Amino acid sequence: MSAKVLIVIGDAAEAMDTLYPFFRLKEAGYEVVVAGPEARLYHLVMHEIPPGWDITREGPSYHLAAEIAFRDVKAEEFVGLFITGGRAPEYLRYDQHLLALTRHFFAENKPVASVCHGVEIIAAADVIRGRRVATVAKCALDVTFSGGQFVNEGCVRDGNLVSGRTWHDNHLFMREFMFMLAAAENQ
């Protein structure tokens, strides 16, 4: 039986933030379990900054089903946690079941990856105090308000947490996340 990795999504999760790790983890033989506020189909979005714009433009994208609700996840069954970006974390960070799951992964020192706005969830879970964390620059305040240190790099690892700024960094931080998962399985 393959090891399980949990991916957190909701409506307006960023498609590239989500689908790259979804397929990369499957490719490596992990059982990927997608969780959301409810077990249902979620609407992903795509984000890009058009030439001449100062802010991200959002458009509709693919759909992805969550097979389990946060409240029903048994965290001890998973070797790792992936927290995607997009606008979904803006409201997911209020879900107490998700915050409890997130705290479990940090308390047990299991590998966690966060990209872009995913930082809003780990900040709300109060697990980044004293840690170096990468995220999109417009979320730097979430890091510093939560006691972390914002780092503007494509891959930042601090203990069991690896983080990246946006989907443009997937190839950087996902490589490290894969190493972390493999190391955790071999302990």
Catalytic residues: 117
CA-closest candidate to residue 175, choices 187, 164, 159: 164
Per the structure block, which two tokens stand in for 87?
């606008």
- Those residues with Cβ within 8 angstroms of residue 61's Cβ, 6 or more apart along the chain or in another chain: 15, 43, 44, 45, 46
Alpha carbons within 13 angstroms on the beta-carbon side of residue 50 total 4
Please classify residue 68 by burial: count the beta carbons closer than 10 Å to its beta carbon, then call 0-12 exposed, 13-18 middle and 19+ buried. Answer: middle
Query: Could you tell me the two tokens for 157?
Result: 């690892």
User: Are the CB atoms for 166 and 115 separated by under 8 Å?
Assistant: yes
Contact between 43 and 33 under an 8 Å Cβ cutoff? The reply is no
